[in-house]
Amino acid sequence: MGFNPIALGMLRTPGEMGVDIAVGEGQPLGLPLSFGGPYLGIMCARRELMRKLPGRMVGETTDATGNRCYVLTLQAREQHIRREKASSNICSNEALCAMTASVYLAAMGPSGIRQVAESSAAHAHYLAEQLADVTGFSLRSARPFFHEFLTECPTDADKLVSALAGRDILAGLPR
């Protein structure tokens, strides 16, 4: 299961729902975006599955010209340092990100994380309602959402995104 760690402030955890393995992105946990990163991947597993997770994961994508590419998404540290019985996938940058996320979680506490989750959801739903009242805009789906949603745009989306950027509003990516 994929999860948003902030959303867990108001939803049941993957473990509480009986999920065996869950993954998420830890960037919302106090890590500011700095030219596209850093990011902090989160992978959780039930205790009996921890040692059965792969030591290397490769993702597939396409480059700017449409060629198939592969990216090493996870690689066990011991594949480089070759220590016997090493069990850590964490290297220095990941450790700094994990420490930042830990400090953020400790500072916010359960009630702070819940407040952030509720505020994020409330503001996103308010925006969705307001956009739905604008002629030509509509939500692309009636499915539940936490803090991100897709819309149909009545005008040239690139033009709208540029106009909003001129007002320091990040509108998202046009489809």
Q: Are 124 and 147 in contact (CB under 8 A)?
A: yes
Query: What are the pLDDT digits (tens) for 19-31?
Result: 999 999 999 999 9
The backbone torsions φ and ψ at residue 43, rounded to the nearest 5 degrees and listed phi first, read -130, 125
Q: pLDDT under 50 in the chain at which residues?
A: none
What is the structure's pLDDT at 35? 77
Angle (CA) 86-88-94 rounded to 5° is 150
Stated pTM of the model: 0.74
The backbone torsions φ and ψ at residue 23, rounded to the nearest 5 degrees and listed phi first, read -130, 150
What is the structure's pLDDT at 117? 98
What is the structure's pLDDT at 34? 80
Residue count of the chain, please give it. Answer: 175
What is the structure's pLDDT at 96? 85
Rounded Cα distance between 88 and 76, Å, is 7
Per CATH, domain 2-117 is 3.40.640.10: yes
Query: What are the pLDDT digits (tens) for 95-117?
Result: 788 899 999 999 999 999 999 99
Segments making up each domain of the chain, as ranges: 2-117, 134-175
Closest CA to 9 of 98, 101, 103, 120: 120
